[in-house]
Amino acid sequence: MRSFIHGSLILLIAVSAAFAKLNTPRPSPLGKISQVVGLTEVKIVYSRPGVKGRKIFGGLVPYGEVWRTGANESTTIEFDDPVWFEGNKVEAGKYALFTIPNEKEWTIIISKDIGWGKNGYTGKNDVASFNVKTESLPHSIERFTIEIMDMTNDSANLLLMWEKTSVSVGLKVDTDSKVMTQIEAISKNPKAMKAGTWYRMAAYYFDTNRDLNKALEWVNKACSMNNEAYWMTRLKSRIQAKMGDYKGAIETAGISLKQAEKAESKEYVKFNREAIAEWQNMK
């Protein structure tokens, strides 16, 4: 009986301890963004305060003062390659994102001062500081929101939005040099390359307006290794057309069309038919 009472007492204490720790929603929920821009991963961690009927900019967030750009801990931004914010180069690493809001423009500060809110900001460890214009939103954003929008292979816009105010920060990455470094290294061992690698190399040269003769050479190698790949044959036709060889492009598109029909790819059947019709008028 004594051991039973002792065991029950231990269980009661354990249950009481478990219930003593209560998890409730944070007033400013934690937000996380992870987005690859080109080949560079950008991560942002921030807290998202709400409007809750208050005047935000020029009120809760005073004009002309450093703001943690969120709530609680410093908002952090991290990237695994150098990036350029509005033309300002910042090396790979993890930083705090501070701002100084004003009515018509904000100062954006990228700093090594990572800590708790603006109290951890010294102003001595800034790695970039610049101004961006504000924009008025047509409707109110209840919770402070950061988004990465308008992405290309080497750029994006970092949007900061709250209440009826928005600012956009241009972000650029050096995707091209990373890809070209890979191509240079891979090309040293062509015997080990597969059709997909030849194809991607040719596609990159085509997309970035590089040496089309080299792109055609590479896509021919890809097609010779996979003679059913309608998407590869389609790229070859587009390279030929870009080089002004519309007759050759039409013949190649006809091959891609038959391959796509066999594979029941309605999308590529459409692409090829439209291309052939367009190029017929350009011969």
Q: What is the pLDDT of residues 171-199, one digit of tens each?
A: 999 999 999 999 999 999 988 999 999 99
Q: Determine the topology of domain 175-280 in CATH.
A: 1.25.40
Closest CA to 253 of 219, 277, 226, 217: 277
Among 119-123, 145-149, 154-158, 226-230, the minimum mean pLDDT is found in 119-123
Where in the chain do CATH 1.25.40.10 domains reside?
175-280
Distance (Å) of CA 178 to CA 185, 256, 279: 11, 31, 34
Please give the average per-residue pLDDT across 14-41, as a whole number: 82
- In angstroms, rounded to a whole number, what is the distance separating the alpha carbons of residues 21 and 114? 28
In the chain, pLDDT over 90 holds for what percent of residues?
82
Element (H, E) at 184: helix 175-186
Whether pLDDT at 147 is above 80: yes
Closest CA to 152 of 37, 35, 43: 37
Whether pLDDT at 19 is above 70: no
Please give the average per-residue pLDDT across 33-41, as a whole number: 96
What's the whole-number average pLDDT of the chain? 92
| pTM of structure | 0.82
Give the residue with greater pLDDT, 282 vs 241.
241
The reported pLDDT for the residue numbered 13 is 54
Q: Got the DSSP string for 238-250?
A: HHHHHTT-HHHHH
Whether pLDDT at 8 is above 60: no
Please give the average per-residue pLDDT across 128-141, as a whole number: 96
Please give the average per-residue pLDDT across 134-162, as a whole number: 96
Q: What is the dihedral of CA 267, 268, 274, 278, to 10 degrees?
A: 150
- In angstroms, rounded to a whole number, what is the distance separating the alpha carbons of residues 160 and 108? 11
| 25 pLDDT tier (thresholds 50, 70, 90) | confident
Please give the average per-residue pLDDT across 211-228, as a whole number: 96
Please give the average per-residue pLDDT across 12-24, as a whole number: 63
* Half-sphere exposure (Cβ direction) of 170: Cα atoms closer than 13 Å: 11
The reported pLDDT for the residue numbered 275 is 97
| 123 pLDDT tier (thresholds 50, 70, 90) | confident
Q: Is 5 exposed, middle or buried (0-12, 13-18, 19+ CB in 10 A)?
A: exposed
The reported pLDDT for the residue numbered 1 is 52
